[in-house]
């Protein structure tokens, strides 16, 4: 709307400038009023990008807020492990997901210790991840940079080098959100995870003072209760909650609610509509219960995953192109449910 107002002000000034007579001025005013009708933007479509609208994100209490300090909820897709599904780490996929699926955020999952990941193939994996970050900035969506590890405390040096490089290269863009550890196993928050995150956050903050960092919690990022009264000492940290709807239900939501009630902000950086294996049944009722809970608490989410693997959490059927353009026949049940949810609930940015 600001843009529209600005355009009319300009037109108005030009008219005033051309005429010194008051009747001409009032004629001009009438003309402006009549033109206003024609270019009014429909309420449901926002001109610009989601990042132009919300800008710099930060944390207030248990909420992620935008540049105007209003709570903001992002909904988007997670890419699959970078080393195993690199064909979707493209600018075309990012553009298609934004334009056709309404994503407001994309997650890159940098494989670390598993075969072919960052520890053995740093240069090629970084190139894929940077291509997606560049595309997200170009498209004006948020991008979550995930260190997709289950043992990151064993490689803290590598995590620091990687995140320092990302922060130095991209930290000035409000699009960036860091996820320092996808899913720790059964290791102590106090003794291992919190110190790990502190070390990595200190590196990030050397180059990027303010973008949000999301920190993984014990037991596949479900141990959010442990963070209560034991948060990191940085104002812009959110804590990770992961679930797979057919496996995890009310108990985990209750734990999440208790964390929120104790001022622990949460971000669902990954969830699936299937069982925790990434395959198995889709429990539609549970999927809906989770979405209702997340909406009620303005919790942002990314769905696992943009992949064409033969498993039920994959959004695409085998062979779907890495250049986007997917027809309905190439989208799985999971992909279609999640796409419909975003088309219904995310604002449309054109
Ligand atoms: C799964 C993939 C599966 C792959 C496996 C390897 O879906 O194809 O064989 O990784 O470990 C997570 C993880 C995510 C898992 C996913 C499903 O973050 O990497 O992907 N999941 O098991 N946490 C809970 C479930």
Question: What string of DSSP letters covers 120-131?
Answer: HHHHHHHHHHHH
The pLDDT value recorded for residue 27 is 58
Pocket test for ligand 1, best of 152, 216, 278 (most atoms within 8 A of CB): 278
CB-CB contact of 326 with 338 (8 Å): no
Average pLDDT per consecutive 10 residues, the chain (350 residues; last block may be shorter): 37 37 51 46 72 98 98 98 98 98 98 98 98 98 98 98 98 98 98 98 98 98 98 98 98 98 98 98 98 98 99 98 98 98 92
Please confirm, yes or no, whether 183 is among the known catalytic residues: yes
* 3-class SS of residue 35: helix
Candidates 183, 226, 275, 341; catalytic one: 183
State the CB neighbour count (10 A cutoff) for residue 15: 16
The Cα–Cα gap between 127 and 176 comes to 17
- For residue 230, with 0-12 CB atoms within 10 Å meaning exposed, 13-18 middle and 19 or more buried, which class applies? exposed
- Are 108 and 82 in contact by the 8 Å Cβ rule? The answer is yes
Whether this model's pTM surpasses 0.85: yes
Enter the tokens of residue 39: 């270019």
What pLDDT, on the 0 to 100 scale, is given for residue 36?
43
Is 99 tagged catalytic? no
User: Is any ligand 1 atom within 6 A of the Cβ of residue 165?
Assistant: no
Distance CA 79, CA 231 (A): 28
Residue 238 Cα, ligand 1 centroid: separation in angstroms?
22
Bond into 305 cis (ω within 30)? yes
**DSSP, res 347:** P
The domains of the chain, with CATH numbers, are 3-44 (no CATH), 55-345 (3.20.20.80)
Q: Which residues of 28-158 form beta strands (DSSP E)?
A: 45-46, 58-60, 63-65, 75-81, 105-111, 142-148
Among 145, 174, 166, smallest CA distance to 57 is for: 174
């Amino acid at each position: 709307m600001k843009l529209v107002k600005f355009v009319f002000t300009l037109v108005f000034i030009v008219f005033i400038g051309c005429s010194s007579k008051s009747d001409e001025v009032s004629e001009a005013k009438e003309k402006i009023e009549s033109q206003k009708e024609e270019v009014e933007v429909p309420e449901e479509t926002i001109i610009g990008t989601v990042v132009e609208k919300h800008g710099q994100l930060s944390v207030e209490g248990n909420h992620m807020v935008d540049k105007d300090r209003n709570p903001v909820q992002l909904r988007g897709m997670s890419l699959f492990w970078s080393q195993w599904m690199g064909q979707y780490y493209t600018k075309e996929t990012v553009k298609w997901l934004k334009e056709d699926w309404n994503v407001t955020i994309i997650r890159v999952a940098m494989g670390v210790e598993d075969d072919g990941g960052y520890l053995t193939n740093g240069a090629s994996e970084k190139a894929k991840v940077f291509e997606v970050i560049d595309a997200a900035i170009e498209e004006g969506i948020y991008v979550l940079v995930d260190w997709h590890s289950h043992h990151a405390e064993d490689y803290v040096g590598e995590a620091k080098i990687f995140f320092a490089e990302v922060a130095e290269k991209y930290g000035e863009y409000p699009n960036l959100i860091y996820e320092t550890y996808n899913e720790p196993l059964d290791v102590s928050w106090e003794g291992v995870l919190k110190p790990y995150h502190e070390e990595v956050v200190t590196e990030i903050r050397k180059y990027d003072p303010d973008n949000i960092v999301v920190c993984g919690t014990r037991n596949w990022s479900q141990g959010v209760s442990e963070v209560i009264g034991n948060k990191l000492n940085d104002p812009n940290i959110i804590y990770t909650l992961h679930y797979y709807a057919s496996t995890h239900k009310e108990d985990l939501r209750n734990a999440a609610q208790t964390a929120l009630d104790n001022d622990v902000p949460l971000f669902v950086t990954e969830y699936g509509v299937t069982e925790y294996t990434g395959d198995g049944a889709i429990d539609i009722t549970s999927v809906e219960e989770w979405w209702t809970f997340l909406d009620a608490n303005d919790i942002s989410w990314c769905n696992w995953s943009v992949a064409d693997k033969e498993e039920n959490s994959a959004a695409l059927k085998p062979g779907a192109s890495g250049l986007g353009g997917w027809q309905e026949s190439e989208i799985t049940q999971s992909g279609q449910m999640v796409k419909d949810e975003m088309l219904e609930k995310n604002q449309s940015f054109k």
